[in-house]
Structure 1
Amino acid sequence: MPLTSQISVYDPRWPDLFLSEQQRIRSVFANALVTIHHVGSTAVPGLAAKPEIDLLVEVSEHRDVGDVTERMKSLGYVRGTDLSQDHHFYRRDVNGVRTHKVHVCPSGHWQIARMLRFRDLLRQDPDLSARYQALKLHLEATNQHGIGEYLASKAPFIDAVLAHKRERD
Structure 2
Amino acid sequence: MKLTSKISPYDIRWSILFHAAKAQIAKAFGTELIDIHHVGSTAVLGLAAKPEIDILIEVSAHINETARNNVMRGLGYVRGSDLSSGHHFYRRDINGVRTHKVHVCISGHREIDRMLRFRDMLINHQKIRQSYQDLKLELEKSNTGGIAEYLIRKAPFIENVMESLTD
**TM-score over 0.5 for the pair:** yes
Q: Which residue of 2 aligns with 1:116?
A: 116
Q: Which string of whole-angstrom CA distances, capped at 9 and with x for unpartnered residues, describes residues 56-82 of structure 1?
A: 000011111122111111110111111
List runs of 5+ in structure 2 lacking aligned partners. none
Aligned counterparts, 1:127-138, within 5 A: 127-138=127-138
The residue type paired with residue 53 of structure 1 is I
Q: Which residue of 2 aligns with 1:57?
A: 57
Deviates more, 1:50-59 or 1:78-87: 78-87
The residue type paired with residue 76 of structure 1 is G
Q: Could you tell me how far 1:111 is from its partner in structure 2?
A: 0.1
Mapped partners of 1:119, 1:62: distance in 2: 25
Aligned counterparts, 1:20-39, within 5 A: 20-39=20-39
- Per the normalisation by structure 2, the TM-score is 0.98
Mapped partners of 1:108, 1:36: distance in 2: 14
- Per the normalisation by structure 1, the TM-score is 0.97
List runs of 5+ in structure 1 lacking aligned partners. none
Structure 2 residue 23 is matched with structure 1 residue 4: no
Q: Could you tell me how far 1:35 is from its partner in structure 2?
A: 0.5
Mapped partners of 1:67, 1:140: distance in 2: 38
Aligned counterparts, 1:65-84, within 5 A: 65-84=65-84
Q: Which string of whole-angstrom CA distances, capped at 9 and with x for unpartnered residues, describes residues 85-135 of structure 1?
A: 211000000111111010000100000000000000000001100000011
Q: Which string of whole-angstrom CA distances, capped at 9 and with x for unpartnered residues, describes residues 118-164 of structure 1?
A: 00000000110000001101111111111111111111110110101
Q: CA RMSD in A?
A: 0.6
Mapped partners of 2:104, 2:66: distance in 1: 14
Count of aligned residue pairs for this structure pair = 167
Mapped partners of 2:148, 2:70: distance in 1: 26
Q: Could you tell me how far 1:19 is from its partner in structure 2?
A: 0.4
- Give the 3-state SS of the residue equivalent to 1:66 in structure 2: helix
Mapped partners of 2:78, 2:166: distance in 1: 35
Mapped partners of 1:15, 1:104: distance in 2: 19
What is the aligned-residue identity percentage? 58
Q: Which string of whole-angstrom CA distances, capped at 9 and with x for unpartnered residues, describes residues 24-68 of structure 1?
A: 100000000000000000000000000000110000111111221
Mapped partners of 2:94, 2:144: distance in 1: 24
Report runs of 4+ in structure 1 exceeding 2 Å deviation. none
